[in-house]
Amino acid sequence: MTQTNSAGTHAVGDAGDLSQSHSRKDLPLLILGALGVVYGDIGTSPIYAFREAMHIRPGATSSDTEILGLLSLIVWALTLTVSLKYVFFVTRADNNGEGGTLSLIALARKTFTKPPAWITGLGVVGAALFFGDAIITPAVSVLSAVEGLKVVAPDLTQYVVPITCVLIIGLFMVQRFGTARVSTVFGPITGIWFLTLGISGLAHIFNYPEVLWALNPLLGAEFVATHVSIAFVVIGAIFLAVTGAEALYVDLGHFGRRPIVLAWFGMVFPCLLLNYFGQGAFVLSVGVENVESPFFEMQPEWALVPFVVLATAATIIASQAVISGMFSLAQQAIALNMLPRMVVQHTSETQSGQVYMPQINSMLMIGVLLLVVSFRSSAALSHAYGIAVSGVMVVTLTLLLVVMWRNWKWHPAAVIAFGIVFAIIDGGFFAANASKLFQGGWVPAVVALVVASLMASWIGGRRRLSEKTRRDEVPLQFLVDNLSKKKPTLVPGTAVFLTSDIEGAPTALLHSLKHYKVLHEQNVILTVRTSASPRVPDDEKVTIDAYNELFSRVVVTFGYMETPNIPKALALGRKLGWKFDIMSTSFFLSRRSLKPGPKSGGPLRYWQDRLFTRLAKNASDATEYFHIPTGRVVEIGTQVVL
């Protein structure tokens, strides 16, 4: 039987090769697009990162030294974590041009004949943590920008939370229209934002150039050494400056590595540094005790209102980026059988990656609004921000080490050395944020735990269902041989029977023979697979193997970034000599009614089976998910006790 090579051909290298498919004329547009989509999140960190770090300091007499130490920690956190780890290394770990935690998992699993369970486990943890991040980011970003009203007009303080809620509701309501229509303005607005950050910071650096001493990493080390009692809390605040770094990798497939790297070193990194140094210079020049929110207070009075408006626009763009990323991640998780099927709507006819998922959108909106109403300030929310992001970074580092060792063939000593350096950095960030668990950090932790439980229950339930179904099914070859010897009544047309088991006879086929006592002239046993690659070329998507004149085996392979469309895929079979006509084809699907089994497996197993049953009932219809015309579908129900 012909098997599809689902992994495809892949050589680990520079993801920038993807951008080579674009002409040089496209490069400026790709860079501009990367500014809006990739760097929106990290670009809004100056609003609150230095403010939170500054408020933690104990107010010792050597205020200048403390401020310089905090700035030094921010500078080197950005340099080591973003510029070195992500830009130079993580973005090179592309899976056929795609990035993100699930892409990294697919890349790592390719090197194993039988991938270990802990790699899939890391994928579950990483995806669950990203869910937590997707709820926190819009809340803290938009709220921190609207809080600029307190500086403009203190009387408006009571309206900060209501205005934030209105903006967030509006943001989620427009998701159904997709980002295609508004994405062209994301880049320019974010570009103006970064230029404004750099210029506003540069003006204060000229007034207090001594702030540049913060480039010395020893000042940061000295601050940690002399403030051991608050070191963890300070590091947790410093981490806010690098939140959003994961977007460099998540959005790799949208732009390619080269535009992302050029945008970082050409504009984002310099402007961020200038603004942080500018905030430090402003604080040092007017006195620490006289500053509450340096980001807004260092602006000239005439620029405050437009600055608040621009900051709000930038935070909305940053929120849009993480929401779109959540849709993409959920779509990948569904394709990799880590989550039940959900409705996926494509919002662009030209860009396949732009999708809208109503169920995910509603859950995110409710979660974000609850956070804003509950915490009521970005300062309180900042305590909840870091655990999810730092956890994703630890997962990314672990999988990257596997890729370095098994894919890139690095010497084990080099892998260990790299791992030790960044395990100290990422582990320190995670530990610092974990120390804020009872100050709000429990929020993303609980969200991640719930999502991880759902994913683990779904993966385990599917495995147990597959094992039970396989035990009850008749071997397909045995059935084909018997039917060729004693043919039942034949009716015109083609019947397509969907099954996930490539060796067993589909349940729908067995029940059709049992109840109808007829067989179609052409019978196709169809199995849909998900490749470890993001996309599968059309000439590799379909394989056909004929058993005899009555039965054929068809395997359709979709990339995990593709939307499964069975009719379109089967139409590709015409190139292989198969005459496919949708109007003379009937699709037979098995609709299983699941019942939890006895409690013999223990309370945990029983609870997981009940959860899996509930998830399966709420999963989107297979007909809609696979884009099969409803008028051509016959569903045959069966009951399965887990």
Say whether pLDDT at 309 is over 80. yes
How far is the C-alpha of 496 from the C-alpha of 523, rounded, in Å? Answer: 6
pLDDT category of residue 13 using cuts at 50, 70 and 90: very low
Average pLDDT along the chain: 82
Do strands 518-530 and 355-356 pair parallel, antiparallel, or not at all (unpaired)? unpaired
Mean pLDDT is highest, among 156-160, 307-311, 405-409, for 405-409
Give the range among 168-182, 269-283, 442-456, 522-536 with minimum mean pLDDT. 168-182
pLDDT of 169: 92
Residue 458 vs residues 61, 338, 532: alpha-carbon distances, Å: 57, 7, 19
pLDDT of 614: 83
If one counts every other C-beta atom within 10 angstroms of the C-beta of residue 334, the result is 22
pLDDT category of residue 320 using cuts at 50, 70 and 90: confident
One-letter amino acid for residue 378 of the chain: S
Residues 6 or more apart from 296 whose CB is under 8 A from it?
148, 151, 304, 307, 308
Say whether pLDDT at 21 is over 50. no
Tokens standing for residue 294: 């340096």
Give helix 117-146 / helix 304-335 axis angle, nearest 10°: 160
Query: Is this structure's pTM higher than 0.85?
Result: no
Give the range among 8-12, 127-131, 513-517, 536-540 with minimum mean pLDDT. 8-12
pLDDT digits (tens, 9 = 90+) for 345-371: 766 554 555 677 888 999 999 999 999
Q: How many residues does the chain have?
A: 642
pLDDT of 3: 38
Mean pLDDT, residues 70-85 = 94
pLDDT category of residue 12 using cuts at 50, 70 and 90: very low
How far is the C-alpha of 181 from the C-alpha of 200, rounded, in Å? Answer: 31
Identify the three-state secondary structure at position 461: helix
Largest CA distance in the chain: 96
How far is the C-alpha of 96 from the C-alpha of 15, rounded, in Å? Answer: 8
pLDDT of 68: 92
Say whether pLDDT at 307 is over 60. yes
**Angle, CA of 212, 218 and 223, to the nearest 5°:** 95
CB-neighbour burial class of residue 321 (10 A; exposed 0-12, middle 13-18, buried 19+):
buried
pLDDT digits (tens, 9 = 90+) for 467-482: 777 776 778 888 888 8
pLDDT of 81: 94
Tokens standing for residue 526: 């169809």
pLDDT of 472: 66
pLDDT of 353: 54
One-letter amino acid for residue 541 of the chain: K
Give the range among 132-141, 380-389, 545-554 with minimum mean pLDDT. 380-389
pLDDT of 2: 37
Mean pLDDT, residues 80-91 = 93
Tell me the domain boundaries of the chain.
19-459, 474-641
Tokens standing for residue 577: 């000599």
Per 3-state DSSP, the chain is made up of helix, strand and coil in percentages (nearest 5) of 70, 10, 20
What secondary structure letter does DSSP report for 553? E
Residues 6 or more apart from 453 whose CB is under 8 A from it?
611
Q: What are phi and psi of 497, to 5 degrees?
A: -110, 120
- Indicate the class that CATH gives domain 19-459: mainly alpha
62 close to 205: Cβ distance less than 8 angstroms: no
Mean pLDDT is highest, among 140-144, 219-223, 291-295, for 219-223
Q: What are phi and psi of 626, to 5 degrees?
A: -90, 5
pLDDT digits (tens, 9 = 90+) for 245-284: 887 887 777 678 889 999 999 999 999 999 999 999 999 9
pLDDT category of residue 16 using cuts at 50, 70 and 90: very low
Mean pLDDT, residues 617-633 = 82
pLDDT of 598: 67
How far is the C-alpha of 63 from the C-alpha of 128, rounded, in Å? Answer: 40
381 close to 143: Cβ distance less than 8 angstroms: yes
Q: What are phi and psi of 585, to 5 degrees?
A: -115, 135
pLDDT of 183: 57
pLDDT of 184: 65
